[in-house]
Structure 1
Amino acid sequence: MIPSPIRSHPYRRRPADRDLPRTPGVELSRVAGVEHLSDPVGPELAGGGGRRRQLVGREAECAALAAAVSALVEGDGRIVEVAGEPGIGKTSLLDHVAGLARANGVQVLNGRAPAPGSDVPMAALVDALDPYLARAPQARLAEIRPDHADLLNNIFPSLRLSGARSLAPAGVPAAARQLRAVRLLLEVLAADRPLLITVDDLHNGDRATIDLLCHLLDAPPRTPLLLVVAHRRRQSPARLRLALDTAGQVTRVAVGPLAECHLDALTQVPLSAGRRGVLYDLSGGNPRYLSALLASALPAGPTSEHLELGAFPPDVESALAAELELLSTTARLVASAAAVLGPEPVDTGLLAEVGGIAAEQVPVAIDELVAADLLRPVPGGGCFAFRHRVVQHAAYLATDAGWRLAAHARALAALQGRRAAAAVRAPHLVRLAVPGDVAAVEALSEAAETVVDRAPDTAVRWLGAAIRLLPATAETAERRIALRVRLGRALGAAGHPRTARAVLHEALRMVDDHPSPARAGAILLCARLERQLGRRDEAAALLRAGLTPSDGARPGDRVALALALAGVELTSGRAGQARRWAAGALGAVRHAGAVPATVRAHALGLLAAASHLRGNRAARGETDRAAALLDATLDGDLREGPESAVWVGWSEILLDRFDSAVHHLSRAIDVSRGAGRYFPLLHLLCARILAYRCSGRLVEAAADCARALRLASRTQCRELHSVATTTAGLLDVWTGVGGTGCPPASAPPTLAPPVVGLPGTLALAAYAETRLALGDPSGCLAVASAAGLPELEPWSQVGWYELFTRAALAGDDPAEAARWATRAGEVAGRLGQPSRSALAASAAARILALRDPAAAVVAAQGAAEALVRARMPLDAAHAHVIAARALVAEGDPDRAGGALRLAEELFTRCGARLFARQANSERRRLLADAPTGARKSRRQPGHSALTKRETQVATLVSEGLTNRQVAARLFVTQKTVEMHLSHVFTKLGVTNRAALVRRVHLAGLPQAQSS
């Protein structure tokens, strides 16, 4: 029996398979088993009441496809180009548009171009149409002309048009007649019912398929046909790209990388800010690469771009292996050699030696790999690199184990002959070296030291290999200690502080048996990790123990340990102890010989910061000397000692020198690149956040918060993570979230880390400010017990007392507010710091406005001027608002409006949109209440008589009762009291409780109406 042409056709799919739509979001589901977010498309496209949801992060692309389907339903056909990198999600979009079209009653046919080398003309279109043609209405197909029927029968195996005859018009080439016949076939198929045809992998299309698409671009079908094609532009023929770019009716959908915020939806697992950022950077927002990284990245928390990969998920591995299988034998060898040489750009001169092929074969193989978009030229040199790290690893896994080992040996021999750097030889050494190879140990150790800042995970692997290779003898004890100290540093930089701490404690135990110069370094690193984990007491004890044995200790080591201990004491809130240790370190510097300028600046900065916190006015000279030393330091020296800038910046912040602090902190941040400096970089960022916040640069502060959050998450630094989190939440409220200017509905109810020391105090202060800004003064005041105010340093106490003054007034407790304001004034008087005195004066002006608005105006304006001189415009704007409200109570609306306008300008300049809106609303209300044509005229009391209930409310409020107390006294709800009080304000021409109190005491209340 002769087999049917339909069954023998190589691209014929089973009808049962063709009738089942492909699963939408297949590429995204490879990442996490999720396909869509919950955004529905418009109801006009959800035929039959169905609802379809958009793909994750593809709202714009789905909207363009939905518009094309909507136009198709209305009878308008067109061509849609979906272009993007491999694995970016083009197939998911094709599946999405197919499902959307089916829901709207459109006939959908799906096709895919086969792998290159197919000899079937128009294979992609045959794949799409052939299953449908077998069951297409014969009456409709009968309309096709006989000469076209003959051509179509030759293209589509399932098509058996009757009456076909080979009657070719004279002078028309067969290829042109074939294109015209296919176009007419498409018109016939779409005549009765709109038709959608999707073609995937068009870059693999044969010449006839490309000719057909170009023909359809020149002569579009006249019936409702939507053709959606997906391709990789890098691999597509130039004439296809040109035709798509120059055609007017093409809808172009460029599928770019996903945004970082979409990673959580794709992975369905909680990601820390640090790991989310690393995964996004490594994957480039590509779903397929993200899937591979999630499944194979070793260790579980990658922290650098040079990470080790394991096995890939089967679907990702098969997709990448399919690309490699299409290569010639020589090209596969070159790709394998390039994979062995690593993810870095490959020197083509090594490919022949590593691959074991003739040198003259390499250029042709590279051309093939570039055409397949596996390798890409590196701009500015003659090197090539894989298009992605995941592709390189797939090529590496595709090699046989024995060939791979031999290739590493050939690569190592070639690199040693070229005297390559240790970091270049290390990936091969780690696979080839045997225990006892001391030369390999030295090379791996040297290589790890060169990459620890940019690739700490790689350094961890190389140092671990070096420790395993080094023989455990008495002669190698000191070397083993040094390697463990380096390993602890690399583990800490890679985001594994607990493991690093265990390694360093092991190194310290080994030092007890074999004294080593690495002892001080191990103690310093271990103490830093203890601080990173929030264990400051343990860090201080460790540093004290390191300072105890004075015999044989090097002066430089004692200076470093003393400075570290002073820093621990200062961040723990013990400024007196910090000053003593910093002074001791400064004295030891004089006996240590030649020490870097950063060390002296570090000691002076710590000494000055501790002194300023304790209210020592004589420490300005120490700050000046430290700043001068820092300015004279070269960038390379500052990069080795960035902690000096932390404390110089802090001492300048405490002196209101915010611009100078930002300058010094920014310089240190700019040079502190690399994972090994994450911890000091976090401290630098947190100090600059405070400087930005105090100086009213809220946008810059928010940017630093985002960066600090990412670093703190990566390094598991809980305390500084808390500072960045709470400050970011506060700035979101002040500046408005997402550009809307609307604060969030709520803030975190509690703080996770214990509130101790300087970082905890900063975090708690930001949290309390957030509660107050969100309208929760009681929540703000509740923080007082957690803050431990009596134990705080004077500089911090003034800020807390001013904050609680505002909170008590917002909570209708003027007596409590007066107590807080008095405390602020007392502490500020002892401290003698201009900005602290101005903040205390601002708090006093708020209390003064309750009984003497005229004096409050003078006090608030004086505080505003002092705050402007201190470069604190945000606080100055608040002082202007206090003055404006006192002026309203004085009956001077014009001057009050001017003060509010100035406050609004300052708030806007700082980026504090919340306060700017409030000032604007208050000014507009004041203008609306002002008498027409009045200019500096005192407002006449009693616009209209009060009702009996309003008189009762006004009287009780004037006696100092809160709204809650008034409600209880009158047996009404608090909302009712607020309504009556609002009416009282309007009728009496006042805008706040202070003005109402003054109005009642000076002029009494107008006669009440009968209720």
Structure 2
Amino acid sequence: MGVGVDFDLTGLVGRDRELAELVTFLDTAATDGAALLLTGDPGVGKTALLDATAELAAAKGIRVVRGSGVEYETDVSFAGLHQLVAPLAAELGRLPRSMREAVEVALGLGAGPAPSRIAVLNAVLSLFGEAARERPLLLVVDDLHVVDDASRSAVVFVARRLGGHRIGLLGARRAESDGSFRPTGLAELAVAPLDDAGALRLLSRRFAHLPRRVLSTVAREAQGNPLALLEFAGSTRVSGDRDGEGAGWASGPGRDVRALYGARVGRLPRRTRDLLLLAALEGSGDIRVLEAAGGPDGLDGLAPAERDHLVEVVESGRAVRFRHPLVRSAVVDGSTGEQRRSAHRRLAEALVDRPERRGDHLARATTAPDEAVAAVVESAARSILRRGDADGAITRLRRAAELSPGPAARRRRLSQAAYVAAWVAGHLEVSHEIMHEVEGDPAARSLSAAAAAGFLVLVTDGDADTAHALLTEAVEQAPVPPGPPGGELETALFTLTLAGQYSGRPEHWQPLVDVLARFPEAAPSAAASLARVHHDLGSVTDAMLRRLDEEIARLRDQTDADVVIRTALTASYLDRLPGCREAVSRVIRDGGAVGSSMPALMFVALDDLYAGRWQASADAAAELIALCEETGYHLFAQVGHYVAAMAAAQRGDLDACREHCEDIWRWSGPRGLRRLENCAHQAAARAALGAADFETAFRHATAICAPGALPPFNPEAVWSAPDLVEAAVRSGRHAEARRHADALRDAGVGHLSPRFALSSATAGAMTSDPEDMARCFEEALALPGVEQWPFEVGRAQLAYGERLRRQGLVRDARVQLAAARGRFEELGARSWEARAAAELRATGMTRTARGKAGAALTPQELEVAGLAAAGLSNPQIASRLFLSPRTVSSHLYRVFPKLGITSRAELRDALEALPPGPPAARP
């Protein structure tokens, strides 16, 4: 309760049920971790229960660390978390450097790159785990409903991951908190008002000198609220009259107690009230700040408030604490607007060495536009963004815009807020709301406005034309800096690069290439580097690769999510995603910013795809699609469909691949997003190759580029080149195949990575002369580092075996084909495995090494196969058997390798060749 009277915390009245649950909670927390949230009305006794539990925990040998929310500090990022971390300085020093720096930067204790939210949360969890290593730890957080959002996210994140950590988290919040308090999902214990008997027992214990009738009246009017009981009784004379009579008790005990506190505050000397107002608005109760803001001997003026039990100085003597949050509210409610602004100005002067907090107080102290104040607030926003708090940065940028005297500065700051909301925080609705405040044509006025507006129309509507027009005009009007672009120009260039990237059309790329020619070579995470790589993969030099590798090596300690995402984007073109995996994973959504988590999910899905972890890749793609559809980032969802289509293609699930490709074509085609259309053609070509449908594969591969041409601005042309070559060879188009293999070799991409080298060498081997064939394939498969690309190795072995068999070298062919089949089987590449198995049978090998071909069909597989052999389509089979078409597809692609076939056309003969008897009983 923390009331303004002495209270025996070990003898709480009427709280046997709550105390019993809290004892159980402590026992669980001390052994296996637990979290609990007390809820109830103001003054109902939540703080008293927290105090009692903390006292009991200390008696049990549990270490206790406390913090609380402050109503006037809700927008000071990580203010609440700071209270929990400050006592753990020794443990913080024992964390790994990257974690320690993430916490220090987030809390403003150190300087460095902006940590992602997830990096801070994981580091804080590790910090508390370190603190609980020697003995259990109890974290106590009062007034969680007014804890700042960043700290509240950290508290909830930690609370959900306490299992096995010997850490307890006990919080309290008002049941009446407004809608801004989002559900935490934590276990809650409702603290109800005392019943009549409990209320009278409490009053009799504390106010035995008052008549019974007076106590009964107080008990009735306080409605069982312990704080109201004590305060009402304390303000009651022996006669039964009360101070402040006529205040209107019927409005509820919480308001009545605040009125009583307001009356007590109003009776204090003015000097004391001024100091209390400073303490209430400062939030942390830091004695040094109050001394600096209050003037010489200022704290002596607090003595009357201490004597009246309204505030107390904590044992360390370094902080002043209000005895109850309602006291703080009463102090602020009793002040005038000018008094509050004056207090904020004095606090800003006292916090000159803390720019973020200084900016917050200046913003509150200023009512008229003031560019100097706006600049300080904007600087604070940038600082907070570097600490990983996007929401706090958005709030401050909007406030800086309000304080901007000129319309240009106002639009610029609002646009920056909109861009951060969309790209970093993932709040599209907030970004749209802010952009509506920007008057006129944003692109004509600032780079920030163009970047924000362009990014919004691109990621939501896929409107690359509008995004390109907005950004090109803004970038062309911007002055050219002497060095690499930075700040607003870099943001605009990056967004322009994204527009050109997804468009894939020369009319969008060529102007960007012309613009970038004006700038020197930049860091791998810069827009210029990404654009140059996307423009021409073969132009990437070894020096650029070394610089990228160095940047990737530093990602382990990189806490700026934007740098991680941009570096990984460049790396994804050059087969260097595995080195980015750890850093990218830290950015993923769990506690982090939604905007950054979507591209992070892309890179995780792509990394799994390339490494042959296709189920994990499909799962990440599905998560990305769902998140994008939920949040409105429809452009990024198409990347999810592409990854899902590629995973399905390589697993042999033709129906699923086609569905995802059609989703892409349906959305991207009308918008002219050529790059995304090419991605779908690449997946469709890959699926057709697996099914040995070489004509269809050639049609899709040549939709990306013509044979013999690898045009700029078209990375899919390079990635799908082996598909086009194989489809051309197997469909009898040998001249086209050779031209394309030569084009891939001449593109000079072999030095980029082992995968590029293997793809180029395999394409060359597939089109080589018979006398050179074996040597070319052997050289391709002997390239260093190719084993990390299992699917590509399997394709090379399959192509090698096919050529060997056609040249009559059956024994050598079996070696390569068996290796390919085994590799595809391990990967789950069913249609590719079936191709290899069919080739093996053509060599005269009728039994597979692993015994999978000819394996028993289940009854349902046999039923599905029979209907497919009869000519029914997958939807028709699904309707007849009450299955989904995707389930039918899955059955068929398990049936194909079991029967040793590759297509539906072979089903009838394969089924007729089965021996009689129950299928499930076959050996």
**Which structure has the larger Rg over C-alpha atoms?**
1
- Give the TM-score of the pair, scaled to structure 2: 0.50
Q: What's the TM-score once normalised by structure 1's chain length?
A: 0.46
**Higher RCO, 1 or 2 (CA under 8 Å, sep at least 6)?**
2
